[in-house]
Chain A
Amino acid sequence: MPDSVLSVRDLRVGFATRHGTLVAVDGVSFDIAPGEVLGVVGESGAGKSLTGAAVIGLIEAPGRITSGEVWLAGRRIDTLGAEAMRKVRGRRIGMVFQDPLTSLNPLYRIGDQIVETIRAHANVSEDTARERAIALLQEAGIQGARARIDSYPHEFSGGMRQRVVLALALCAEPDLLIADEPTTALDVSIQAQIIALLKRLCRERGTAVMLITHDMGVIAETADRVAVMYAGRIVEIGPVREVLRNPRHPYTKGLMGAIPTIAARTGRLVQIPGAMPRLAAIPTGCAFHPRCSQAFDRCYSERPERMPAGAAEAACWLFAEPTRVHA
């Protein structure tokens, strides 16, 4: 797909342990179009964050990409050397982490951190970079940015710090922003503001977003498309309305059922029994089958690949054309 900003093909991330390699991300493929917001949801440990880290090339040992490809605007980046990849980070792909309290270096003024980042990617003077930083902070909703640019991170509240973090991630004008649970650590009242800000800043710049979260509400509000991950795989991917209104995969259904507002509207509460498997003990066949109320023979032995299911795609044998048994 040449017109995608990001194109991930059959990505696998493994951890070498003494009991062999544990596969944490297992054959993940997806695309993000320019300016598009892709939401990635799933329980913690499903491989969402690792997928994001793999895209930006920041997987920590003993983890590593064992196979697959990552393409950024038509250029393969997972094979780049360290220095070439550094130039991609920040400039082409920005990233925001979960906790704004710990994402900023406590000993540096926020202005210095922004200026440093701008100048790492563009050949501009200190003063130019500083002016840009002030403008950006203002845009990010820091009032009196000119006066506050020389403040230290601890002088800001959590929500303000996340605004600074967003400004930092976007200051070199990347084409893609990976936001890894950007609001989880924040107060509920502030979460909506930060999400709105993220949406606005990215829309204005035409920046595509990979929004990693476990919050379906955030997805519903922000994303264009959504990918649902379970045990290292994408089990369902499609337009966000379609997936939310009409989830196909039994796991997605369960996930929807766990949200009270939606459950109230549909009038039934779906609960998923059990817990996600440990990486060392992922079941054969479909990884979800031990928890699935609709599992049948094939699910125990054969692993489903993604197949069309309505307007979305689901990795579930229920949607395999010839042997459709359930309604």
Chain B
Amino acid sequence: MLAFTIRRLFEALVVMLTVALLAFVLFRYVGDPVSQMVGQDTSLEDRTRLRLELGLDDPVYIQFARFVGNAVRFDFGISYQVKQPVTRLIAERMPATIELALAAALFAVALGIPMGVYTGIHRDSWLSKLFLTVSLIGISLPTFLIGILLIYIFAVWLNVLPSFGRGDTIPIGFWRTGLLTASGLKALVLPAITLGLFQMTLVTRLVRSEMLEVLRTDYIKFARARGLPERAINFGHALRNTLVPVITVIGLQLGSIIAFAIITETVFQWPGMGLMFIQAVQHADIPVMAAYLLLVAFLFVLINFIVDLIYVRIDPRIRILRRGA
């Protein structure tokens, strides 16, 4: 178990270093950092001094080491666009994104798993077909279109929910939460559904196909042959065996929820990291892009790691036999 944890940690480190290298190359070689930071009329001496200060003349590996060292201390430099430390920008924006992502994930799982189980067991019922059709539409509709549709229905037409912003927030330490005010919760509904809908359809379809797969296995046949009640077969033997892949995907999807939050935040003008990132891309604000990249990679790696640990709890075989990854 310890060896396994250490190996996983090592693999995570390799991924992080790869991404860091990518971010560094971005930061260092896409455009000239100096001319991004200073105005047109800065003198050549000032520029040279800045180059020296930033250590841009040092050997590349020293620069990279410094970049990594800074990143570990959450120092990502100054945003080209708003001229503020990137770390502060992120700290301000992160709570909004995390709250949105968790609400969306909860929505997706709470609805997706029961729908998936139902459609897996009752393959040919009309309700299953309805679920699957809806889920296909959910997969085909781009996130931003769903958001616009929801805004049109609930904000423009019915005028019951806000269409942009986070509502009122309350600070708890550095974390500004919108979960404790009525307007904050109201503001969360549409973005969370928009962001979670796609994931929900994904969870539904995954659980369904895993259920179909598991229901065909010999041990389910054998469970039937032993006269176990359908409920015990479906919810005990079958569902539990689908959980390993389902948890993997849900874990990975949590990462992609954070990425997809870029779109949702743009549609709803939700003041999170995604909105920050898209503004950075539009203005070629490399330090912000690099920091966001590293942060998202870190979150993904962290989630993957946790998912792996959960695996081991669910599937006893993994305690001995590790999947080759």
Number of interface residues of B (CB under 8 A): 24
Instruction: Tell me, rounded to whole Å, the shortest Cβ–Cβ distance linking A324 to chain B.
Output: 44
B226 and A97 form a contact (CB under 8 A): no
Contacts of B227 in A (CB 8 A): 86-91, 117, 120-121, 172
Contacts of A168 in B (CB 8 A): 222, 226
B315 CB within 8 Å of chain A: yes
B223 CB within 8 Å of chain A: yes
Q: Which of A82, A89, A99, A152 is close to B226, meaning CB atoms less than 8 Å apart?
A: A89
Q: Which of B217, B232, B315 is close to A116, meaning CB atoms less than 8 Å apart?
A: B232
Known: A107-B240, A107-B241, A116-B232. A102 touches B217 (CB 8 A): yes
CB closest residue in chain B, given A109? B316
Contacts of B241 in A (CB 8 A): 105-107
Could you tell me the distance between the alpha carbons of A91 and B227 in the complex, rounded to whole angstroms?
7
B46 CB within 8 Å of chain A: no
B232 and A120 form a contact (CB under 8 A): yes
Contact with A along B307-321 (1 / 0, CB 8 A): 000000011110011
Q: Which of A103, A107, A152 is close to B314, meaning CB atoms less than 8 Å apart?
A: A107
Contacts of B223 in A (CB 8 A): 105
CB closest residue in chain B, given A180? B225
CB closest residue in chain B, given A165? B222
Instruction: Tell me, rounded to whole Å, the shortest Cβ–Cβ distance linking A92 to chain B.
Output: 9
B226 and A117 form a contact (CB under 8 A): yes
Instruction: Tell me, rounded to whole Å, the shortest Cβ–Cβ distance linking A162 to chain B.
Output: 12
Contacts of B232 in A (CB 8 A): 116, 120
Q: Which of B226-245 contact A (CB under 8 A)?
A: 226-230, 232, 236-237, 240-241
Q: Which of B217, B226, B237, B321 is close to A94, meaning CB atoms less than 8 Å apart?
A: B226
A58 CB within 8 Å of chain B: yes
Contacts of A120 in B (CB 8 A): 226-229, 232
A160 CB within 8 Å of chain B: no
A104 and B229 form a contact (CB under 8 A): no
B222 and A95 form a contact (CB under 8 A): yes
25 contacts between A and B (CB under 8 A): A56-B225, A58-B221, A86-B227, A86-B230, A87-B227, A89-B225, A89-B226, A90-B225, A90-B226, A90-B227, A95-B225, A97-B222, A102-B219, A104-B219, A106-B317, A107-B240, A107-B315, A107-B316, A116-B228, A116-B236, A117-B227, A120-B227, A120-B229, A154-B316, A168-B222
Could you tell me the distance between the alpha carbons of A94 and B237 in the complex, rounded to whole angstroms?
19
A58 and B225 form a contact (CB under 8 A): yes
Q: Which of A98-154 contact B (CB under 8 A)?
A: 99, 102-108, 116-117, 120-121, 152, 154
Could you tell me the distance between the alpha carbons of A169 and B236 in the complex, rounded to whole angstroms?
19
CB closest residue in chain A, given B238? A105
Could you tell me the distance between the alpha carbons of A94 and B224 in the complex, rounded to whole angstroms?
10
Instruction: Tell me, rounded to whole Å, the shortest Cβ–Cβ distance linking B123 to chain A.
Output: 9
CB closest residue in chain B, given A171? B226
B53 CB within 8 Å of chain A: no
Interface centre among A87, A105, A106 (most CB of B within 10 A): A105
B218 CB within 8 Å of chain A: yes
Contacts of A102 in B (CB 8 A): 217-219
Contacts of B317 in A (CB 8 A): 106, 152, 154
Could you tell me the distance between the alpha carbons of A90 and B223 in the complex, rounded to whole angstroms?
9
Q: Which of A82, A105, A154, A172 is close to B237, meaning CB atoms less than 8 Å apart?
A: A105
Instruction: Tell me, rounded to whole Å, the shortest Cβ–Cβ distance linking A138 to chain B.
Output: 20
Q: Which of B189-244 contact A (CB under 8 A)?
A: 217-219, 221-230, 232, 236-237, 240-241
Known: A105-B237, A106-B219. A89 touches B224 (CB 8 A): yes
Contacts of A154 in B (CB 8 A): 316-317, 320-321
Could you tell me the distance between the alpha carbons of A121 and B226 in the complex, rounded to whole angstroms?
9
Contacts of B229 in A (CB 8 A): 86, 120
Contacts of B240 in A (CB 8 A): 107
Could you tell me the distance between the alpha carbons of A86 and B229 in the complex, rounded to whole angstroms?
7
Known: A105-B241, A106-B317, A107-B316. A99 touches B218 (CB 8 A): yes
Could you tell me the distance between the alpha carbons of A116 and B317 in the complex, rounded to whole angstroms?
21
Could you tell me the distance between the alpha carbons of A165 and B226 in the complex, rounded to whole angstroms?
10
Contacts of A103 in B (CB 8 A): 218-219, 221-222
Instruction: Tell me, rounded to whole Å, the shortest Cβ–Cβ distance linking A260 to chain B.
Output: 31
Contacts of A58 in B (CB 8 A): 221, 224-225
